[in-house]
Amino acid sequence: MMQRPSALRQRIQATLVVAAPGVLTLMILAAADSLGWIAALASVAAVVLASAPIAAWQLRRLERLLQRIRDLAENKAQRSSEDDDEALSSQIGPPLEPAVAEADEKLRLREAALRAKLASSEAVLSALPDPMILLDAETRLLRLNTSAEVLFGHGKQGRALVEILRHPEVVDAAERTCRGEWVGGVEFQLPGAIERSFQARLTPLPGDDEQAAVLSLHELTAIRRAERLRGDFVANASHELRTPLASLVGFIETLRGPARDDGAARERFLSIMEEQAQRMSRLIEDLLSLSRIELDEHTPPKDQVDLVQILRSTVSALEIQARKKQMRIRLELDGAPEVLGNEDELNQLFQNLIDNAVKYGRPKTDVRVIVEPVRMPSEVSGRQDLAGIKVSVIDQGEGIAREDIPRLTERFYRVDKARSRALGGTGLGLAIVKHIANRHRGRLTIESRPGQGSCFSIHLPLAGEAPAQGGRTAQPAAE
């Protein structure tokens, strides 16, 4: 096999360098007539031929040394063993061995320091509560920290930003940042049953061909919800409290005027005033409760709770109310499931549903509370075949018209306003149920027909199956 010209030249040059002292000596002897020219030329040829293998051997040693230095410079060399050190000594010779060994040790120390620094940076990045994404020049995802993987899912590296975040303003800002422009922040919303607000902050990374920008997402959901809930609370409270407050003012004026000395009227008016005051108290309590739930709705609970114990406690608390109407609450269990949830909120959820069933059910009928395992559909969890639990509260009341069902979870919506107020309802019970179900990454379904009663069902994922970020919550359905 023919060698490359460069390698051949190197060998010729090395051979001439090794043979030069002997050739020079022979030429001097020939010039002094101490050696014949024919013998001198023959000796020169012999010296050159003898020098060729020596030069090749030394050249190979130098090539090994150069390769070793390249490997060290490129961080390809592995930790040397004693045998490797001996082999290196035999290849490069004692004079160069200490220098190469020192360079090797310095590179190892530098590599260890860089690895420790990288591990520290990785730990800090993963621990950050805000989602962070490293983008390349084409806005592809190079790396996501733990919070970003929780938000968008695992296995997103290498995909384009537009595939996981379909917001033109954010994508456009990312493209401009990757070109070296300074963009700043862009606010956007992630749609779904639980809408979440974020501010995207983009920072360019100059001087790196691969890493072009950092995208960090700061969640503003709690701030925006607080702003909206403050306005909603004032509007709802002022609207719903206007009537009972007007009644109280009228009764007080009457008691101070025409009914000042009328004992019977005074007792009747005081009784009505007490009812109105209690109604306002319940209304404010429900409004505050709903505001608290909506404020934390985007954050799923992480505590593991016993659902059966919650249901038994709720049923026990409402049995006295049921006996007043000669009704019975039947708890039908299939297993003893545990879910990730907030015990107080789940207590409130099932108390609202069972309390409604008792209030609106016919006297001397049963309220059935059925617990059974189900497979959660994809529109609830974002995953197929998720293990879940279904709790159904079934009454035997007058039922609900089909056109009213989609609006039952609206604030202050009542099918029969007079009856609802007479029974102490505030019109917020099912709204609270819906938002608690949303926070627990579940859903509420409603089935009812006039004259045949109603079935309110809560679907919840079991503990260990609940997705980190909730999927879409289905709207109440009529059948």
91-130 pLDDT tens trace: 555 555 666 667 667 767 777 777 777 676 666 667 777 8
Task: Report yes or no: 202 and 232 within 8 Å, Cβ to Cβ.
Answer: no
Distances (CA, A) of 73 to 78, 98, 114, 254: 12, 16, 15, 97
Residue 350: pLDDT band by 50, 70, 90 thresholds? very high
Does 397 share its domain with 474? yes
Share of the chain above pLDDT 90, in %: 4
Does 406 share its domain with 473? yes
Enclosing domain of residue 64: 5-111
**What is the predicted pLDDT for the residue at 425?**
59
Q: Copy the structure tokens of residue 408.
A: 């039952």
Tell me if residue 137 falls in helix, strand or coil.
coil
Please state, in angstroms and rounded to a whole number, the distance separating the CA atoms of residues 59 and 420.
Answer: 100
φ, ψ for residue 182, nearest 5 deg: -100, 115
Alpha carbon dihedral 32, 38, 42, 45, in 10-degree steps, equals 80
Does 163 share its domain with 16? no
Tell me the torsion sign for CA atoms 66, 69, 75, 79: positive
Distances (CA, A) of 175 to 4, 68, 188: 47, 42, 16
Question: Among residues 219, 246, 269, which one ends one of the domains?
Answer: 219
The highest-confidence range among 3-17, 87-101, 298-312, by mean pLDDT, is 298-312
Question: Among residues 295, 319, 351, which one ends one of the domains?
Answer: 295
**What is the predicted pLDDT for the residue at 478?**
36
Number of structural domains (the chain) is: 4
State yes or no: pLDDT of 340 exceeds 50: yes
Here the CATH number for the domain that contains residue 173 is: 3.30.450.20
Question: Among residues 277, 295, 313, which one ends one of the domains?
Answer: 295
Q: What DSSP line would sit under 376-401, residue for residue?
A: EPHHHHSSSSEEEEEEEEE--BS---
CA angle 355/298/344 to nearest 5° reads 35
Task: Report yes or no: 11 and 51 within 8 Å, Cβ to Cβ.
Answer: no
Distances (CA, A) of 360 to 126, 313, 403, 414, 422: 52, 21, 18, 12, 11
Does 386 share its domain with 412? yes
- Residue that is written with structure tokens 């009764």 in the block: 251
Task: Report yes or no: 308 and 333 within 8 Å, Cβ to Cβ.
Answer: yes
Does 107 share its domain with 91? yes
Per DSSP bridges, beta strands 366-376 and 328-332 are parallel
Q: Copy the structure tokens of residue 98.
A: 């200490």
Does 365 share its domain with 477? yes
pLDDT in tens, 458-475: 988 887 654 544 333 333
Does 243 share its domain with 372? no
Residue 455: pLDDT band by 50, 70, 90 thresholds? very high
Here the CATH number for the domain that contains residue 372 is: 3.30.565.10
Q: Which of 31-45, 252-266, 302-316 has the lowest mean pLDDT?
A: 31-45
